[in-house]
Chains A and B, each alone.
Chain A
Amino acid sequence: MNRPPQPVLDADALARQIEPLRPTLLRLARLQLRNEAWAEDAVSETVLAALQGAAGFRGGAQVKTWIIGILKHKLLDQLRLHARETTVAADDDDGEALDGELYRRDGHFRELPEKWADPCSELQREQFFAVLEACMERLPGRQGRVFLMREWLEIDSAAICQELAIAPTNLWILLHRARLRLRECLQLNWFVAASR
């Protein structure tokens, strides 16, 4: 006698698997969108799309990978939807000050950059990732959004410019500041602490 084919996960079972992931989805959505209401919309749409697509899902261990993939699409939808609001917002950052802390007027570094130890060793990975997320959260809104589009959604610079209708030089300035800030924040909150 043939055994019946592996049952496809039904929507109820899938919903039970998705529920515990909701806080993670929301955290990542907030990090990308920097707006509570948009983040909640993105997560609701993600869960809905997942449940509607339940029949197409094979089940097994990769629920999270699958649903994060859906979330990333929904995050991009939200960014498109609100592109105008996010790009006209006033520049909330003083790049000059950042520059002055790092470099002397002649363009040399004020201090020799420190030697960083690998932050992703088994023992401390999760702690490091928590600090990394906190530092990304602390980036000013526009910088944070484009930085996460690059590093979390993995969209290339030209495509980001198209999505947000901004000029490449504007994007590069935002990303440059974001990267400098992130480096500074990790230096202070991770690498200094780790070297003690």
Chain B
Amino acid sequence: MKIPNSCRDISGLLLAREDRTLSLGERLAVRAHILTCRACRRFEKQTLILRDALRQWRQSRQQDQG
């Protein structure tokens, strides 16, 4: 299998991580790429912000105030 290394591959894995467990190889590829790529670091930050925002949205929609 080709080693994922373009920003397209890596950001794809960062999104996939929300829905499935990445393999060890995939996790390493992400870590290695992110060390040197500012764009993917930013992208990762966005996915984490969105993950947290969705959690808060879910909570607010099932609580009495909101």
Are A62 and B64 in touch, CB under 8 angstroms?
yes
Are A115 and B18 in touch, CB under 8 angstroms?
no
Q: Which residue of A lies closest to B38 (CB)?
A: A112
Are B49 and A172 in touch, CB under 8 angstroms?
no
How many residues does chain A have at the interface if contact means C-beta atoms less than 8 Å apart? 45
Chain A contacts for B54, CB-based, 8 A: 132, 151
Say whether, besides A107-B8, A176-B15, A115 and B45 are in contact (CB < 8 Å): yes
Interface residues on B, range: 20 to 34
Are A65 and B64 in touch, CB under 8 angstroms?
yes
Chain B contacts for A64, CB-based, 8 A: 62-64
Bound together, the chains give a CA A125 to CA B56 distance in angstroms of: 9
* Interface pairs A-B: 4 shortest CB-CB: A107-B6, A113-B42, A107-B8, A68-B62
Given A115-B42, A172-B19, A183-B46, 17 other A-B contacts at CB below 8 A? A65-B63, A68-B61, A108-B39, A109-B43, A114-B42, A116-B49, A118-B49, A125-B60, A132-B53, A133-B57, A154-B58, A168-B20, A171-B19, A175-B18, A179-B47, A180-B15, A186-B50
A-B contact pairs, 24 of them (CB 8 A): A28-B61, A61-B64, A63-B64, A64-B64, A68-B61, A68-B62, A103-B6, A106-B6, A109-B11, A109-B43, A113-B39, A113-B42, A113-B43, A114-B46, A116-B45, A116-B49, A126-B66, A129-B57, A129-B61, A150-B18, A152-B58, A157-B19, A179-B15, A179-B18
